[in-house]
Structure 1
């Protein structure tokens, strides 16, 4: 406990320029203010952040008035829910009026009513570790539901009953999975039971809110913990049904891997590769790892000899991925990136022991486009064999492919491959105007560039004239 007190004191000293001034302004206005939720929890865990959440007795109009003239910027996008946002230097601030909220069974949006006390506001929060507050400017800790004890025991419980909490806001079931992944905490058995019994209620939550929680979960340090909880409670069947579908029954000869466990391992290996290669946590890369084999259940076939095949599961999986991400309202850019990676994840396995021609390597780079680095990570992560000799051989082979890509890129600028002649040059050489023939010539020259590498303008012109003459 002494260590916790030291961490909190140090964090409060760091926050002092903001919380002391803000607390004084609310106090002068006759209103109560408290730092609440994540910032208090993270201060106890020694996790620093610049996003600060406060709760207050002041109604939004009053909060807005208090902030003006002090904050660098103020916004009211969450005003209908009692929240006013602000920025002060490097600090992002949200101040929400004490409130209670609940969902009507037929509604996707919470109804909001202002509360009358700090303790009442804390009771409506998702978990006890997020239901602690520090009053400002007095710096008095309020922990009516035992959050400190649960923090020390690393467990997630709800302030009231889980059924009451999840009925008020079903998204909290996904937040349980997200916090398990972010904090590495266990989930209280009563919470797991309620999630299992109430999983269907997640359907009243908007796709956008589900998507945002899923992103946070996948970007967490230990997403396997959260994803397992979603699958085990049945929540995944509503928000990401492709994941539990991967838990295929093995054939009696055990000829194929447990695809669900393999997928979670690939995700973890992709995370390790992110760190090794110096990348920040990347949702696209991680979600591609999670979805790369979702085409397997639909393409599984048993052969007469007991062997199992999944022909074209890459193409089928890309279509399934696109459809799921569209349902979850992801951006077109994210959908295209993840779907492309899923479709390309098997391409390397045609490389053999390095038999690809330079033309094939160029096509690999062209097809990957700006997803090439992510494809490197996904392809390497997809090697989960327990055969260490085979694993080492696959790593060496991919090392060779990356080295060849680097060499060709240096020689030919692969990332920006274009034909050796542009459209205007094609029309001038062939004496034709704009039309389909120009596009066909451009495509032919691009294929020639990929197959044979760069040519001089004279060589490209001669080849183009020969091709045109052969067309008649």
Structure 2
């Protein structure tokens, strides 16, 4: 964090957009302030292009005049129902709103709004660090207005509400999610009185739509260390309202002196591990792409890897969050083995669609990606724990498809054993699995793993409609190719097909 004087703030705001806003506001005779996250991030030295401006008067009038002053390069959007307007200018977005005071009814987060002063507007802000305002009027340009000591809270790394936190959270319960989100993103601590209010008002979260909760939760998941947010959500009683399937994992049971690990905190450790591995992989790829001597074909592969990594960044983290979600339903005691969680991957994968639907998360390929990784996440571990055979790795590559590297990243993150020798053995075996995968990719097994005789040809050959027999014959050919007992060539596969069809009592169609 950097402490800034008013003069230094004025220098940081010495840009065309701010000076033009200043001229417009002075011309209209209204007070004008840049507020909220943009000001906060100036002190935290974080880049930001999203600017919020409060006008003591009509924000829409200032926005419309600003657009006219900036000309064709500026684009104006007006939202009269909300009393706001947005001006987009090059890569910068400025949101304008008139200063206001708000009051709420108990069953809605939609406020009753009245015109107000700057003080009224700062009173309604969610946290002290977001209530900072810097004047844009020419005679006070760069002057900080900080009525709640938000600057001190920034310096101390504290999240605190400007007014009574019970009123703040009860009025708009989404602020509870934002409280945890800001604490997670900024690695700040939630002040005790504010945290206690989270606990007291947790049930109010029920009036918030799934879409708004999902938006804040995804921002927590995308933070550098999302476990911080999930611990806070859990401690405050919010997580059980959002993802009860996770909170039931916060359990350790002991029988005959044998205990299982706490699968909730294990899940959070895996999630953080995935985040770290994603960041390491991204840094590696970016560095490689800067190599001027690298082969162009190789660069294209790195670009594709980087694009895949970025596209799946959030969803691989969701897979980490969900990977053990089936364990609560699968926990059993065995007098010989102790605690077991057999088939928890399969049960967890079955749970994913219902969780995504309830959370208003996408039900498209993103959900199927998460579901697939949850289902497959035990496979590399089983392979690594036994002999790393070509056949087993072929099957894994075939089932994981283009997501095989993501699956391996998840599985490596899943090794959280405190036994250093056991952990090292698994990681070494995973290295062997990765080498085998690379070898198979180089031999283009991905293309060869699909038998060259497909279901349509089988149905035509034996005069069948889609049926169990067709599935059995397709599976027999696929198994033979995966096991490498028959080459993926037409003649030997046709011989095997005739043999399997005969065993099922099928005859070739007469032409």
Aligned to 2:332: 301
Structure 1 residues 152 and 441, CA gap change in structure 2 (3 angstroms)? same
Aligned to 2:127: 127
Aligned to 2:344: 313
Quote the Cα distance in structure 1 between the aligned partners of 2:426 and 2:28. 67
Counterpart contact for 2:125–2:131, Cα < 8 Å: yes
Quote the Cα distance in structure 2 between the aligned partners of 1:140 and 1:416. 68
Once the two structures are overlaid, the 10-residue window that deviates more, 96-105 or 257-266, is 96-105
Structure 1 residues 11 and 332, CA gap change in structure 2 (3 angstroms)? farther
What whole-Å deviation, never above 9, does each CA across 1:134-159 have from its counterpart, x for those lacking one?
12242221111111111111111111
Aligned to 1:325: 356
TM (norm. structure 2) is 0.83
Aligned to 1:72: 74
Quote the Cα distance in structure 1 between the aligned partners of 2:80 and 2:347. 44
Counterpart contact for 1:60–1:79, Cα < 8 Å: no
Q: 2:363 matched to 1:338?
A: no
Once the two structures are overlaid, the 10-residue window that deviates more, 440-449 or 166-175, is 440-449
Aligned to 2:237: 234
Structure 1 residues 92 and 256, CA gap change in structure 2 (3 angstroms)? same
The structural deviation recorded for 1:55 is 2.1
Counterpart contact for 1:156–1:187, Cα < 8 Å: yes
Aligned to 2:110: 110
Q: Secondary structure at the match of 2:244?
A: coil
The structural deviation recorded for 1:201 is 0.6
Structure 1, unaligned runs of 5 or more = none
Structure 1 residues 439 and 256, CA gap change in structure 2 (3 angstroms)? closer
Q: 2:258 matched to 1:259?
A: no
Q: Secondary structure at the match of 1:414?
A: helix
Quote the Cα distance in structure 2 between the aligned partners of 1:449 and 1:100. 70
Quote the Cα distance in structure 2 between the aligned partners of 1:443 and 1:8. 74
Quote the Cα distance in structure 1 between the aligned partners of 2:124 and 2:379. 50
Q: Secondary structure at the match of 1:355?
A: coil
Structure 1 residues 250 and 425, CA gap change in structure 2 (3 angstroms)? closer
Q: What are the equivalent positions in structure 2 for 1:16-415 lying under 5 Å apart? A: 16-59=15-58, 61-69=60-68, 70=70, 72-76=74-78, 79-107=80-108, 109-137=109-137, 138-252=141-255, 253-278=257-282, 282-304=313-335, 307-333=338-364, 334-353=366-385, 355-414=387-446
The structural deviation recorded for 1:449 is 3.3
Aligned to 2:489: 456
Quote the Cα distance in structure 2 between the aligned partners of 1:162 and 1:30. 35
Q: Secondary structure at the match of 1:80?
A: coil
Aligned to 2:294: none
TM (norm. structure 1) is 0.89
Quote the Cα distance in structure 1 between the aligned partners of 2:452 and 2:6. 62
The structural deviation recorded for 1:396 is 0.9
Counterpart contact for 2:24–2:62, Cα < 8 Å: no
Once the two structures are overlaid, the 10-residue window that deviates more, 311-320 or 372-381, is 311-320
The structural deviation recorded for 1:8 is 9.0
Once the two structures are overlaid, the 10-residue window that deviates more, 298-307 or 225-234, is 298-307
Counterpart contact for 2:220–2:229, Cα < 8 Å: yes
Quote the Cα distance in structure 2 between the aligned partners of 1:438 and 1:264. 44
Counterpart contact for 1:98–1:116, Cα < 8 Å: yes
The structural deviation recorded for 1:61 is 4.3
Counterpart contact for 2:87–2:95, Cα < 8 Å: yes
Q: Secondary structure at the match of 1:81?
A: coil
Q: Secondary structure at the match of 1:351?
A: helix
Once the two structures are overlaid, the 10-residue window that deviates more, 92-101 or 177-186, is 92-101
Counterpart contact for 1:8–1:43, Cα < 8 Å: no
Once the two structures are overlaid, the 10-residue window that deviates more, 220-229 or 452-461, is 452-461
Q: Secondary structure at the match of 1:246?
A: coil
What whole-Å deviation, never above 9, does each CA across 1:44-70 have from its counterpart, x for those lacking one?
011112222222235464355235443
The structural deviation recorded for 1:361 is 1.6
Q: Secondary structure at the match of 1:330?
A: coil
Structure 1 residues 201 and 435, CA gap change in structure 2 (3 angstroms)? closer
What whole-Å deviation, never above 9, does each CA across 1:229-248 have from its counterpart, x for those lacking one?
11111111111222321111
Counterpart contact for 2:127–2:162, Cα < 8 Å: yes
Structure 1 residues 419 and 194, CA gap change in structure 2 (3 angstroms)? same
The structural deviation recorded for 1:321 is 3.2
Structure 1 residues 26 and 348, CA gap change in structure 2 (3 angstroms)? same
Quote the Cα distance in structure 1 between the aligned partners of 2:392 and 2:188. 47
The structural deviation recorded for 1:448 is 3.8
How many residue pairs match? The answer is: 468
Structure 1 residues 7 and 26, CA gap change in structure 2 (3 angstroms)? closer
